Amino acid sequence: MSHLLPLALRSAWNRRHTLGLTLLAIVLAVTLLLGIERVRQDARAGFAHSVSGTDLVVGARASPIQLILYAVFRIGETTHDMSWEAARMLAERPEVAWTIPLALGDSHLGYPVVGTSADYFVHFRHGDRQPLRFAGGRPFEALFEAVLGAEVAQRLGYRLGDRITLTHGGGGFTGAEHDDKPFTVVGVLARTGTPVDRSVHISLQAMEAIHLDWQGGAPIPGFSIPAELVGKFDLTPKSVTAVLVGLHDRAAVFALQRELDGYRAEPLMAVLPGVALSQLWDLLAVAERALLAMSTLVVAVGLAGMVAVVLAGLGERRRELAILRSVGARPRDLFALLALEGFAVTLLGALLGLLLVTVLAAGLGPWLQASYGIAPSHAWPTAQEWQWLGWVLAVGTLASLLPGYRAYRLSLADGLTPRI
C-alpha cells in the first residue's frame, strides 16, 4: 500500500485538470450544503431569539401564531384589541414582575409604529436575554418623541432631532398621514437582529393623541385638534394590541395562562412565546426541507460527477494498470489505487468546502447580520456539521468503490495485454 501512495499522487497530479474540476464541484457542493445548513440553523436561532425573557404574550383571543406575528414580528393587521383595563389588571397582579404594553397599527414609510411604555426599554430582552441598548439618544419622554430601531434609522438616514410623520394604518393610502402631529427622533437603538430594528417606538399616550381627532380609520371631517392642545385631553389609552409579561417566578406561568384564558370580562389569550415561535417555525419547515433536499442533491451530483470522471478516465488508464500489473501490482492494489483517489478527492473536497464555509461565515457574517438579521452563531463546525461531512465522505468513498471495482475487473480481464 505504501508503495502505491506516491504513485497515486503522481498519477493524480498528472490528471490534475480534470480532477481539479471534480474537486471544485465537490467543494462547492459541500459549501452549499453546509452553508444552507448554517443559515437554516442561524435563522432558526435568530427567530427563536427575537424575543426572550418574556414569559407570556397576552392579547385578545385569536390564534396564538397571529398574536406572535403581531407582538413579536409586528406583521399583520390587528383585528381585535384588548382593553386597557385588562392590561392594567395584568400589571397589578402579584406574580407579574413587569409588563410591556404594545399598540400597533400605524406605520412610517412601511416600518411598523409601536406604541409602548418606557418599560419597553427597561424590560424587553432579545437573543440571549440581552437588553436593548441605545446607539444614541434616550427613551421618549415628551409626547411627540420617537425612538427608532437601528434599521429604520440607517435605511432612512435619520438622526437625532429629525422630524418624522407617521401614517395611519399600514401605509399606501394618501390622506391618511398624521402630518399635523410630527414626531421628533430622540433615540436610536443599537442593532439587535430582531424586528425591533424595524420598529418606530412612540408612547401609548402619543398613539392616543394622534388619533384623538380620528374615527374609524379616517380624520373626523371638520374636526381637528392641534398638537399644542392635545395635552388638555385624557390620553389614557383605550386599548392595546398585546402585552408582554414577565413573571417573578416562571413556575407561575401555567397557572396564570389558564386563568387569563378563562378571564371573564373579555376574551383574552395568553401564549408562551417559545411554543408559539416553534409552531410558527414549523410552518416554514417545508421550505427548509426543500432547501436541504436541494443541497443534498447538489452533493449527489458532485459525487456522481467525480465517479463519472474517474470512470471515463479509466479507459485511458488501462495501459497504466497493465504496466503496474506487470511490475507486481495485484488487482486489489489497483482497486485500492482507484478507490483511494475517489476517497482523497472527496476528503479534500469536504475539508476545502468546510474551510470555504468558515471563511465565508467570518467574512460575510457582519453583512448577513446587517441585511437579514441572521447572526452567524459560530465559525467552527459543529458536531452536526462533522456528521454531514462524515456522510459526504462515506457516500463519496462508497461511490469510489465503483471505479475501483471496474479497475479490478479490467486488470483481471486484461492481464498484461490491455485490449482497447
Q: Give contact residues for another protein (rule: CB under 8 A).
A: 3, 7, 10-11, 13-14, 319-320, 322-332, 415-417
Smaller CB separation from another protein, 1 or 283:
1
352: nearest Cα among 12, 9, 33, 13: 33
**Looking at beta carbons, which pairs linking 274-283 to residues 24 or more positions away fall under 8 Å?**
274/48, 275/64, 276/57, 276/64, 276/65, 276/67, 276/68, 277/47, 277/48, 277/50, 277/51, 277/68, 277/72, 278/48, 279/64, 279/65, 280/47, 280/65, 280/68, 280/69, 281/44, 281/47, 281/48, 283/65
> Whole-number minimum distance, CB 12 to another protein, in Å?
9
> Whole-number minimum distance, CB 412 to another protein, in Å?
9
CA 88/CA 375 separation, integer angstroms: 36
> Whole-number minimum distance, CB 410 to another protein, in Å?
13
> Whole-number minimum distance, CB 332 to another protein, in Å?
8
Question: Which cell numbers hold the place of 120?
Answer: 419597553
350: nearest Cα among 23, 93, 42: 23
Smaller CB separation from another protein, 220 or 413:
413
> Whole-number minimum distance, CB 391 to another protein, in Å?
33
> Whole-number minimum distance, CB 40 to another protein, in Å?
43
> Whole-number minimum distance, CB 322 to another protein, in Å?
8
Smaller CB separation from another protein, 327 or 383:
327
CA 216/CA 219 separation, integer angstroms: 8
244, 57 in Cβ contact below 8 A?
yes
Smaller CB separation from another protein, 133 or 330:
330
The one-letter amino acid code at 69 reads L
Smaller CB separation from another protein, 171 or 331:
331
Smaller CB separation from another protein, 179 or 316:
316
Smaller CB separation from another protein, 286 or 416:
416
115: left (phi over 0), alpha (psi -120 to 50) or beta: beta
> Whole-number minimum distance, CB 348 to another protein, in Å?
19
291-301 exposure pattern, b = at least 16 Cβ within 10 A, e = fewer: eeeebbebbee
Strand partners, 102: 242
Neighbouring C-beta atoms of residue 226, cutoff 10 Å: 9
> Whole-number minimum distance, CB 315 to another protein, in Å?
14
Smaller CB separation from another protein, 344 or 350:
344
Smaller CB separation from another protein, 211 or 325:
325
